[in-house]
Structure 1
Amino acid sequence: MQPLSGQSHDLTPSKVIILDRDGVLNEDSDDYIKSLDEWRPYAQAIEAIARLTRHGWTIAIATNQSGVARGYYDETTLQMIHDDLCERVSAAGGTIAHIAYCPHGPDDGCECRKPKTGLLDQIQHSLKLDSLQNAWMVGDSRRDLEAGIAKGCHPVLVRTGKGRRTEARGSLGQARIFDDLAAFADYLIEN
């Protein structure tokens, strides 16, 4: 199942949420998520995406996947993981509008690896938005938040994945902090 793209009908940046993947939607690993068997989604995150979708939010994903450049897994394996993610979200009643990923290593000099904004630029183009001003960027690392801030997004740190370590380092500025994606979804839906 491919993520939907080009959902341009009545999209406003204030109803767009961009999510990092590892540590936000699934358990992260310092050894990388190299196979579908190693990919363990958080049930609460899948349900949170579904609830947000039902409340009119457009969900996209921006994920650094340097394991491709390092040779730990290939893009076919990455697509299998993303297909599984989309199927789980769909089964829960939600939709992922677009998945953007960077397959490059940290020293490749690309424009897509967060904290650069190339992945967010891809999402903006795919969703046919004039800007991402006032969209939400949710991540568990400083580089996620920095990419979002550079595009005018509201930064959100979740404490799952590497989030607690990121929070402990401090200096997160304007970022809102939530225990997990479900708590952030509760906040948006209630407000």
Structure 2
Amino acid sequence: MPTSSDPSAVLFDRDSTLVVDVPYNGDPDLVRPMPGAVEAVAAVRAAGVPIGVVSNQSGIARGLVTRDQVDAVNARVDELFGGFDTWQICPHGPDDGCACRKPAPGLVLRAAEALGVDPVGAVVIGDIGADVGAAQAAGARAVLVPTPITRAEEVAAAPVVAPDLLAAVRVALAGGAG
């Protein structure tokens, strides 16, 4: 059962946060959880906090994968993790000027609306500055979990940095996300 110190929701980036990044993946058989990710999501679920995924998928706009392929990959992620309460996907390319592509706030705001929660109480966990930026633009809190692709300046600018996803979830559930 959630308490007043719990986040209203925890929203995860997909690639390099929940699952190993396979660029423009359209094949569910290639989905592999990041180390500790299944346990991290289970911890949020056990705390009774709504969970969602917010993911840029520009491969759709680029014609490298179809929406059906992305949906099939997401269904496999759901299978491996026990399901998410909402999936919010940006199918646009970097130059499309949409309001949903991270670091814009659209995905976070749509996820909060779908979950019926205030985005200000939500925590976004991701691996790059765009994830942090989307959280901040939506008024949510952010926890960065750096990977080898995370730039040093993104780590330096992040309000909260965790060494791995389970640590990020612990911070989020303790109310320590920035």
The TM-score by the shorter chain falls in which range?
0.7 to 0.9
Q: Is structure 2 residue 52 aligned with structure 1 residue 60?
A: yes
The Cα offsets for residues 18-38 of structure 1, whole Å up to 9 and x where unpaired, read as: 111111001124x43232233
- TM-score of the pair, normalised by structure 1: 0.80
Aligned to 2:9: 16
Aligned to 2:136: 149
Aligned to 1:169: 153
The Cα offsets for residues 94-123 of structure 1, whole Å up to 9 and x where unpaired, read as: x41101000111111211111111111211
Is the alpha carbon distance of 1:11 and 1:65 closer, same or farther for their aligned partners in structure 2, counting shifts above 3 Å?
A: farther
Structure 1 residue 189: Cα displacement: 5.1
Is the alpha carbon distance of 1:170 and 1:104 closer, same or farther for their aligned partners in structure 2, counting shifts above 3 Å?
A: closer
Measure the CA separation in 1 of the matches of 2:50 and 2:64. 31
Q: Describe how 1:28-43 pairs up with structure 2 within 5 A.
A: 28-29=21-22, 31-43=23-35
Aligned to 1:122: 110
Measure the CA separation in 2 of the matches of 1:189 and 1:134. 11
The Cα offsets for residues 125-166 of structure 1, whole Å up to 9 and x where unpaired, read as: 21122x31131111111111011011111111002363xx33
Structure 1 residue 173: Cα displacement: 3.8
Aligned to 1:6: none
Aligned-residue identity in percent: 31
Is the CA contact 2:132–2:158 (under 8 Å) kept in the aligned structure 1?
A: no
Q: Is structure 2 residue 76 aligned with structure 1 residue 84?
A: yes
Stretches (4+) displaced over 6 A = 10-13
Measure the CA separation in 1 of the matches of 2:148 and 2:29. 18
Is the CA contact 1:140–1:161 (under 8 Å) kept in the aligned structure 2?
A: no
Q: CA RMSD in A?
A: 2.5
Uncovered stretches (5+) of structure 1, i.e. residues with no partner: 1-9
Structure 1 residue 180: Cα displacement: 1.6
Which letter does structure 2 place at the counterpart of 1:134? G
Is the CA contact 1:28–1:161 (under 8 Å) kept in the aligned structure 2?
A: no
